[in-house]
Structure 1
């Protein structure tokens, strides 16, 4: 009817001349806010009226958080906000012989969930299409969720977790005064999380390399050592914890392994019981024998039988050739005292002392 009256909500009017801001304010109103007035006029239908002898297909979607208007399939008004229940009126103030016909109005149910697909044990938030702005639509006083895994809820905005992968049928049923008003079903796909197992905590020898495999080929990897490969090699020096994050098909999993290092035994230095400085190239010097490169600190003192210090060095690579005060020392028994620190990052460091005697032979 040309004289249909809208007592609530929006009035939508069309003129065949360009109207002013004041006229917009008079002809378009909302109980909530003003911006839709200007948005509605900023269309090809906003400045001028309907064309004579034309038929227009007018579509309106009105929800608690959106008003969407289409004319001949073209969106001319799309506004998000918070809207209460209301009515929409159609007016023709300047063009007579305009008829509105074939009206069809339907209240329908819908819902969404975030994320649209989820992983096992990931939080899924279910939302009716009227959330945020109002508690329930006017034609509903209760609702009932079925999540497809024998779990249900009567909350408006339920949170749910699925403990196994698969496709689940979700159903939302709404009631008014105890009677079923409407029901809608849709599906959600729950994806499997990658299975990550680095193995049991273990003990390895220090200064050895171990390989860890995160499995799940084709996934994205991030190891605590910075590697992004499926397999990473770890050179073990000290106790450490290694973890990896694995992402496959947008689903993530992680694992940690604790690895202790077994310190290798430290090799002590050996010292000969005799030497012969006769220039034959064999045993011409008295010196330490062993893995000399691992010695961190070293001091060796040699005394003759009268207790005189005949040789002193802080270098593990230096030996005594029997010289003392510019002369070769005589044959006999000599006392040696050695203090040193031996070891490396694999064995650790340890202090040692050696006190003994040796024979100078000529």
Structure 2
């Protein structure tokens, strides 16, 4: 039974003291992520013994980092999800007093050993301190149970995780104690499918140069233990060549793994030239070859292959170049010895419509020093389209490339087609109008462009080479063009601002004192040729920004009409705006001594008259009991004789007025009384 975990710092100290006597590094197959057992979802795994070992501490989400979580006496299991759903499984100790823990990882696209460093790939787990069966079930807790006192916690099952189709997973089973009685692991209760539905078959046979060695490729992974061993080595296979026999069958993948998909078959004698068949039989172990779910390749299934004595090879083809390639791939029917490729690329030259320099060459993904593809590095991308020729020749190293059979490749050429790069740069013309402008866009179609995709303000998609569209004469518009010739594409975009619509506007004070000048600010927009201002009946101006206007001082309040007409003569566009200015009879600030709020239009309000030049104004009115009935900081806001909508009675009211005079900057304080008359 397991008590609360030892803090990790203490655990490291203890481990250093006991490393040689109690635990060693995990080396057995299945005890490391890279050699995990492949899983068949319908098989119950019986593990009768677990070697004592420990190699890595582990991160457990939601649990203290200082606790001693580790892959202690572990076994790892790997599987792929073929149908998405929930995963249920049970780990049952052979002795129920044993305590097993587990953790599930999603290693899709990752190195299996990333489980030790990548904290983002943990799916779920359970590290309960209680003994007995553990796993994932529909009744489990929806969190990872951390190390715990077995007397107080029995959450040994976690809820079933949801698996994603196509993802790869690793399941760690860790034994906390050193009593290695073993366990069983079974998968059931969930809806996910983790058993490969593909039936096993032979896929392809590739004869070696000497005709005595065959590389056999399967359509999926098969169990290493299904290969006959000892005296039955090679008994699963036979060849159709008369008098020839199979002497051995091996797989390098079985040295440090449980499964394989490639075999090496060795024959007693070289094959004669021609077509042959490799036939699979039941071996001395009573079966052909089986997958991890014990499904066998059908007996007497065969694959036809051809053996021809080695001859110097020529390149098959040049890979598809795409747009502006700076690398070229040369494909061969046999593997090339990577060591015979001149690194400086001097085994190859390229000629065509534009100069091309090869600056390097290497085998792509050289496996065991051989590759079917040579990658040529160019000094610059090919941007001029046309037919190019690759010449394979003797390099600066004194030889040409050599294939896997040791034969040098003859001097020869292979052609490829390159595409021109394209430009999406376009032109447009503009026909201006008063309210709408018509823009005509065009592309030259150079370098075999055959696809156009216009976008105007992201809402209109046009696929013609040329297009006309109208924009408001006052607008901001985004235009984008994407062009392609089927290989190369390009994008051009810009923001086009239209500002030719004639729109008149101006700002001015609506009320002025008789001694002041009226200052007008022109805020019009658009293309304007001519300005015409009229200031009531006292004058006019043709300037865009007229001089301040002085009105007659008549001691009578008057209103003047200010009008602006703007026009664009070439477009025959015109617009006008009218505003009114009130010129007061005087700007003497005073509060009336009486007012009559009876809605007859005469003296209905109380306010400081003509306070246009009062800055920082503060106006207050009090009733005879000293209560504030009105307060304003704007001189045009007036008291109507009501408080909260209730009419106030006839009587005398006290007012106070404070302000700073705009011209003199003098601070003024006044107070007085006004009679409200009803």
Per the normalisation by structure 2, the TM-score is 0.27
The higher relative CO (CA closer than 8 Å, separation ≥ 6) is in 1
Per the normalisation by structure 1, the TM-score is 0.46
